[in-house]
Amino acid sequence: MRTKLGREDGAAAVEFALIVGVLAMLLFGMLQFGVAFFQLQNLRAASREGARIGAVDGTVSDIQARVLNAAGVSTLGNAVYVRTRTGSATPATVSGATTRPCRPTSGPTPDSVIAGVNLQDPTLPGGLKDAFTVDIPLMPSISLMSAQVQGEFRCEH
């Protein structure tokens, strides 16, 4: 009887059953964070592409179209913005689809053009918003919505 009680048959299976849940949470949490980080980097690269178009005399609509194309999405709502920076002044928002940010019709010539995506914009598609929230069971949610997504290029004068 004592030899039957001292055997460890099935101990590995029980240990695996106890630890597999924790391993699954870690694995899926890492995957979800990886997808969110990839999407964030994708939007940052798309913003740099848009700013590059603006720096070489593109219009606001050219910049917005380039950001959408480079991001590989059909819409970002009103979340795509275009700004210019002159010296050390606070960046000024540029509006008007045919406006050329680096060649304004009036005022000083800006030093650089900034294109970006406002992740706080309410018109941002829901699927994209969901991609920036990492939910791991038994842990608080991690949100990447406060990340800065923009690119800046010096204007070609």
pLDDT digits (tens, 9 = 90+) for 13-37: 889 999 998 899 889 989 999 999 9
From first to last of the 157 residues of the chain, give the pLDDT tens digit: 556 666 777 888 889 999 998 899 889 989 999 999 999 999 999 999 999 999 998 999 999 999 999 999 888 989 999 999 998 888 999 988 899 999 988 888 999 999 999 999 999 888 888 888 888 877 888 888 889 999 999 998 7
State the DSSP string of the chain.
Answer: -HHHHT--TTHHHHHHHHHHHHHHHHHHHHHHHHHHHHHHHHHHHHHHHHHHHHHTT--HHHHHHHHHHHHT-S--TT-EEEEEE-TTSPPEE---TT--TTS-SSSPPPSEEEEEE-TT-TTS-HHHHHHTEE--TTS--EE-TT---EEEEE---
Q: Which domain holds residue 44?
A: 2-154
Number of domains in the chain: 1
